[in-house]
Amino acid sequence: MINKNAPIGRPRRPTGWRRRALRLPILAYRVGLGSLFGKRLLLLHHTGRVSGRDRTTVLEVVSFDAVEASWTVASGFGSKADWYQNLRARPQSLIRFGNRPHPVTAHFLSSDDGAGIMDDYARRHPRTARRLCAYMGLPVDGSKESFRTAGRAIPFVRLEAGAGHRPAGRRHQ
């Protein structure tokens, strides 16, 4: 079945049991098991731009910089994803990284920034980068330029911690 509202080249949002399975990490964070995900996932608390209700979603951390206290995440469902649009409306938010909360401000990155981020991600995680691009309908051939092209099509967001909220640990990317 074709979803006419889905952005071209983007996967349909999961429904049914797939959606429930993808939301299981939220339950893990709620019961204090966020540290199980290491530095790969974070829990984003955001406010619905229309409803004003508290919302949560788990996102993969594309890169983490402990020195700068920032996390970079990507919207695999494009700029129409609810969490992305909610952050556009209210960029101040809260994340849970491991079991520690961090107030953050969202900064929306340019497509040129996205190209560099995806190039770096593909260098560090080549198989995962290929699979993610395939899932999102972004053709890549394994070359640096194909990943840079894919990165230009993916909306990236940098979440920067407020003053006084520095994550423990050394710099990770």
Structural tokens at position 6: 């889905």
The mean per-residue pLDDT over the stretch 134-162 comes to 94
Give the integer Cα–Cα distance in Å for 7 and 121. 23
Give the integer Cα–Cα distance in Å for 144 and 1. 34
> What is the reported pLDDT for 27?
85
At position 111, the amino acid (one-letter code) is S
> What is the reported pLDDT for 5?
40
Query: Tokens 């909610």 — which residue?
Result: 86
The mean per-residue pLDDT over the stretch 52-71 comes to 94
Q: What are the tens digits of pLDDT across the range 8-55? A: 456 666 677 676 677 788 889 888 888 889 899 999 999 999 999 999
The mean per-residue pLDDT over the stretch 64-72 comes to 95
The mean per-residue pLDDT over the stretch 115-123 comes to 96
What's the DSSP call for residue 94?
E
Q: For residues 57 and 7, which has the higher predicted lDDT (pLDDT)?
A: 57
Using an 8 Å Cβ cutoff, are 11 and 19 in contact? no
- Is the pLDDT at 57 greater than 90? The verdict is yes
Q: What are the b/e assignments for 61-70, b being 16+ CB within 10 Å?
A: bbbbebeebb
Query: Tokens 């593909």 — which residue?
Result: 122
> What is the reported pLDDT for 36?
87
Winning range, highest mean pLDDT, from 4-8, 22-26, 92-96: 92-96
Residue 3's pLDDT band (boundaries 50, 70, 90)? very low
Long-range (24+ apart) CB contacts under 8 A made by 136-145 are 136/9, 136/10, 136/11, 136/76, 137/8, 137/9, 137/10, 137/11, 138/9, 144/119
> What is the reported pLDDT for 24?
80
Nearest to 161 by CA among 85, 95, 88: 95
